[in-house]
């Protein structure tokens, strides 16, 4: 829970908003005192089993394919440290700071369930690292999404041991300065952890990386889908489309929840539009608009419903204690398969499909503006001087190129599997890979919507002396603060980037809501 901007870990499952707050905005965390007492009680069970002459997996044995190998008590600290060091085998570019913070927070949340057997000092060290802004270096490749996000989590555990590299700094300052973990911990007054029985496993066995990225994606996609309704409204207006198809009674004939929300947004965006009113009379000979205009609520709504399903899965996972073996409430230590990332991997892939389709429809609306045979009287490519100027021709190329990539990124990662660990881990989820490609997809969707908004704003300006509606006009005013109106050809890339920033920051939505009221 959040108290005075502080996220309390352990009292109850974390929310998606809390994950975003800590990962992206550096909200400080506190550990729930009652949960810490439970952590200590469960640790006592592990220590009792450590003295047992009967082997217990992860406590007095090796791991994975070496689960039957008994480890003497004087070698177990080395066993845990060796596990972390050997599993910190990532490769490739650094993973984003917010992703690393999210996976560390989620691992901490699982440790606080008292189902892992980690010690209190280990739990408190993870909290201290997050609050100090110390972010371990995690590499792009290394997780198969089963037995947890092993390599990414191992890199974080390594930093808690005072080994490896980290970055130090808060979110507004960028990724932070690169330094050795030992030096960073010393500067922050944090003592490196010396891992005891079971703790190596407890720190690396979880879906925290893919779940962290899913939580961030849900937050971002929810905002982008509202923006997609806004951009569709701008296009319907400037392409002289009709708002009649978005009527509530028509939408209720197909009672899909997300569809109703998107249609309501479109009605709010187009309410009182003089451009829409200008062609409502009998002189308008068009019977119905193209699908990319008329069916926007159906596509955007289906995307919303898919996002709702992904949110349900994420919330269940946030309430989970994922480890192997796990300490049950009645004191047993049991092996299990809850570390398999399939539930998370599937919805990550579902969302990549959604993103590609919403972006595809947006690009089709952009393309209609540029074709003189379909743009209802506007100039070809919305050019200032036809034949001399190219207008927004290549902006559409950019959108098309992004959409093409999004379609490739929509190919599911979760249907792939490469056996590992001497065939002990013979089926894996590839959920980490699904999450990585979804992050790239979301960036692409924001850019495609920005190009549509740029294009529709120019189309509306070219309808002068007709005026846009209050909500669409407010969005166009916001766009004009960073992007000039119609005129001779100019350098377009900075304008595309500037409008993309408006989309990603939420300023486009804020502008629309300043006139239309709250949008969903």
Active-site residues: which are they?
57
> Which residues are CB-neighbours of 383 under 8 A, at least 6 positions away?
389, 390, 391, 393, 489
What Cα–Cα distance (Å) separates residue 286 from each residue in 278, 293, 301?
14, 13, 25
Measure the CA dihedral 222/226/227/228, to 10°: 100
How many Å apart are CA 252 and CA 362, to the nearest integer? 24
How many Å apart are CA 460 and CA 464, to the nearest integer? 7
Max Cα–Cα distance, the chain, nearest Å: 91
Q: Which helix (H) or strand (E) holds 8?
A: strand 6-9
How many Å apart are CA 133 and CA 520, to the nearest integer? 34
Contact 344, 317 (CB under 8 A): yes
Give the orientation angle of helix 507-516 with respect to helix 257-270, to 10 degrees: 70
Contact 508, 475 (CB under 8 A): yes
How many Å apart are CA 67 and CA 87, to the nearest integer? 16
Contact 508, 502 (CB under 8 A): yes
Half-sphere exposure of 186 (CA within 13 A, CB side): 7
């Amino acid at each position: 829970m959040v108290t005075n901007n502080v996220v309390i870990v352990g009292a109850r499952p974390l929310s998606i908003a809390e994950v975003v707050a800590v990962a992206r905005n550096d909200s400080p965390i506190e550990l729930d005192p009652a949960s810490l007492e439970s952590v200590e009680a469960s640790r006592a069970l592990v220590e009792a089993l450590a003295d047992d002459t009967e082997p217990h997996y992860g406590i007095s044995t090796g791991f994975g394919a070496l689960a039957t190998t008994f480890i003497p008590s004087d070698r177990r600290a080395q066993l845990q440290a060796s596990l972390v060091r050997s599993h910190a085998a990532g490769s490739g570019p650094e993973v984003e700071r917010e992703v690393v913070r999210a996976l560390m927070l989620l691992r901490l949340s699982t440790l606080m369930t008292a189902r892992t057997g980690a010690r209190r000092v280990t739990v408190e060290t993870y909290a201290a690292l997050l609050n100090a802004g110390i972010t371990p270096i995690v590499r792009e490749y290394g997780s198969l999404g089963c037995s947890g996000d092993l390599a990414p989590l191992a890199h974080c555990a390594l930093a808690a041991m005072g080994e490896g590299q980290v970055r130090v700094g808060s979110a507004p300052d960028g990724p932070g300065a690169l330094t050795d973990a030992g030096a960073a911990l010393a500067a922050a007054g944090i003592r490196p952890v010396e891992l005891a029985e079971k703790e190596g496993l407890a720190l690396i066995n979880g879906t925290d990386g893919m779940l962290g990225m899913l939580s961030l994606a849900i937050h971002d996609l929810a905002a982008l889908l509202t923006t997609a309704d806004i951009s569709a409204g701008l296009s319907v207006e400037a392409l002289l489309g009709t708002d009649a198809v978005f009527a509530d009674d028509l939408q209720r004939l197909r009672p899909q929840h997300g569809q109703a929300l998107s249609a309501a947004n479109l009605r709010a965006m187009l309410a009182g539009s003089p451009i829409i009113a200008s062609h409502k009379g009998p002189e308008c000979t068009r019977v119905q608009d193209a699908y990319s205009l008329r069916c926007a609520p159906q596509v955007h709504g289906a995307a919303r419903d898919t996002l709702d399903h992904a949110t349900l899965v994420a919330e269940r996972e946030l309430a989970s204690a994922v480890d192997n073996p796990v300490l049950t409430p009645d004191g047993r230590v049991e092996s299990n398969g809850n570390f398999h990332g399939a539930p998370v991997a599937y919805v990550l892939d579902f969302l990549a499909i959604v993103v590609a389709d919403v972006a595809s429809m947006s690009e089709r609306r952009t393309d209609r503006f540029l074709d003189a045979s379909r743009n209802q009287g506007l100039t070809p490519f919305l050019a200032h001087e036809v034949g001399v100027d190219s207008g927004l021709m290549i902006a559409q190329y950019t959108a098309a190129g992004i959409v093409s990539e999004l379609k490739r990124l929509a190919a599911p990662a979760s249907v792939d599997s490469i056996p590992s660990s001497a065939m002990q881990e013979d089926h894996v989820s590839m959920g980490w890979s699904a999450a990585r490609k979804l992050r790239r997809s979301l960036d692409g969707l924001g850019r495609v919507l920005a190009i549509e908004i740029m294009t529709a704003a120019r189309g509306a300006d070219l309808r002068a002396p007709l005026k846009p509606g209050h909500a669409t006009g407010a969005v166009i005013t916001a766009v004009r603060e960073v992007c000039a109106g119609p005129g001779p050809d100019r350098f377009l890339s900075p304008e595309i980037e500037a409008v993309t920033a408006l989309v990603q920051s939420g300023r486009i939505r804020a502008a629309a809501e300043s006139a239309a009221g709250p949008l969903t």
